[in-house]
Amino acid sequence: DAEVVLVGRSNVGKSTVMRELTGHDVSVGGKPGVTRQPNHFDWTSESFMFTDLPGFGFMSGVESERREEIKTDVIRYVEENAEHVLAGVVVLDGKSAVDIIDRHRERGNVPHDVEMFAFLEDVGVDPIVAVNKTDKIDDLDERLNEICDRLGLYPPWQQWSDTVAPICAKRGDIDALEECLRDRFHEHN
């Protein structure tokens, strides 16, 4: 069965996105990094499966060794299932993503979101970037252009509307993401 995986730092809104996509009430705002097993959900209308992978990156109260373990699990899971993973959705907090990416870069590190985006491409899983919390962003076009730039997608962002989906999961506005997923689903069939 075709599968869609959701990845992203903790607290970006993955559980909220998942709930909006599936109608299942998954526990929102639980302890980050605690769930190590991927959670599976069915999206009955299109008959593919969603997998919410545990958050990676900064998790308060979680030791760095444990964080690395979780990240390794996520990467291994996607590698092992790449053949039937139709799309990988990288969920970002649109308000803070650019600052966090730039901070990591200044320290000479590869930011987690950038790493995950590139990793999905490497294993042949087409990434979709769900830019969440758009209700907290003043100049959305400008912010989406910055996000594209950081991910190596040449702005303007409108050129990438099949890859970049601005959403506000909290208000149930995930149309752009559903549109991206529908496209992938139709390409696949």
Examine residue 16 and tell whether it contacts ligand GDP (CB under 6 A).
Answer: yes
Examine residue 14 and tell whether it contacts ligand GDP (CB under 6 A).
Answer: yes
Per the CB < 8 A criterion, the answer to whether 131 and 147 are in contact is yes
Examine residue 94 and tell whether it contacts ligand GDP (CB under 6 A).
Answer: no
Q: Which residue of 2, 11, 178, 185 would you call a contact of ligand GDP, by CB under 6 A?
A: 11
Examine residue 33 and tell whether it contacts ligand GDP (CB under 6 A).
Answer: no
Binding segment for ligand GDP (CB under 6 A), chosen from 6-14, 65-73, 74-82, 104-112, is 6-14
Binding segment for ligand GDP (CB under 6 A), chosen from 11-19, 40-48, 76-84, 100-108, is 11-19
Distance CA 162, CA 177 (A): 9
Distance CA 6, CA 110 (A): 20
Q: Which residue of 12, 74, 128, 129 would you call a contact of ligand GDP, by CB under 6 A?
A: 12
Binding segment for ligand GDP (CB under 6 A), chosen from 25-33, 73-81, 110-118, 157-165, is 25-33
Q: Dihedrals φ, ψ of 130, to 5°? A: -95, 110
DSSP 56: B
Distance CA 168, CA 62 (A): 27
Per the CB < 8 A criterion, the answer to whether 123 and 79 are in contact is yes
What residues contact residue 63 under an 8 Å CB cut-off, 6+ apart? none
Examine residue 15 and tell whether it contacts ligand GDP (CB under 6 A).
Answer: yes
Distance CA 69, CA 64 (A): 9
Q: Which residue of 23, 28, 122, 140 would you call a contact of ligand GDP, by CB under 6 A?
A: 28
Examine residue 170 and tell whether it contacts ligand GDP (CB under 6 A).
Answer: yes
Residues 121-160 that bind ligand GDP (CB under 6 A): 132-133, 135-136
Rg (C-alpha) for the chain, rounded Å, is 15
The residues facing 87 across adjacent strands are 4
Instruction: Retrieve residue 77's tokens.
Output: 């899971």
In angstroms, give the least distance from the CB of 12 to ligand GDP: 5
Q: Which residues bind ligand GDP (CB under 6 A)?
A: 8, 10-16, 28-29, 32, 55, 132-133, 135-136, 168-170
